[in-house]
Amino acid sequence: MLVKLFIVATLLTLASCYEGRKYIPITADKRMPKSFANATLAQKEGWKYGCESGIAAGGNHFHRLFYKSSNIDGNQFANSEEYRLAWQMAFNYCMYYQYHRTKLQIWQPYTKGLIF
């Protein structure tokens, strides 16, 4: 009994040192492009939330564990055109990027060099 308890304690200790953040799947870059260098705070928030929603929408079930598809500020979306446009652009960019990346990884061994 004491040996089993020691093994469990050892495994829990080793698991607490695990750095899981580096194993989050590779996704679209959530930072705004450099062409938006003078973006307002509303545009930056819109881009951040739109991209996170787009990654969840375009990815598979594994990506939905890390990203929420309903990440939106409804009040700003309805009242701020800057926020709404940035959210829509980021959603479309990240969703299509993630969708194609996810689909190509599945078929890449069979279509090497044929697509993209």
Total domains present in the chain: 1
Flag whether 115 is in a domain: no
**CA dist 103 → 21, 33, 60 (Å):** 23, 24, 9
pLDDT tens, residue by residue, 63-114: 777 777 777 878 888 898 999 999 999 999 888 888 877 776 555 555 555 5
Write out the residue range of the structural domain in which residue 75 sits.
2-107
**Which DSSP helix (H) or strand (E) runs through 62?**
helix 61-64
pLDDT tens, residue by residue, 23-55: 555 666 666 777 777 888 888 888 888 888 888
Flag whether 113 is in a domain: no
Flag whether 47 is in a domain: yes
Whether the CB-CB separation of 102 and 67 falls below 8 Å is answered with no
Flag whether 53 is in a domain: yes
Flag whether 35 is in a domain: yes
Flag whether 116 is in a domain: no
Flag whether 114 is in a domain: no
User: What does the pLDDT read at residue 27?
Assistant: 64
Query: Taking the complete model, does pTM exceed 0.75, yes or no?
Result: no
Q: d(Cα 11, Cα 16) in Å, to the nearest integer? A: 9
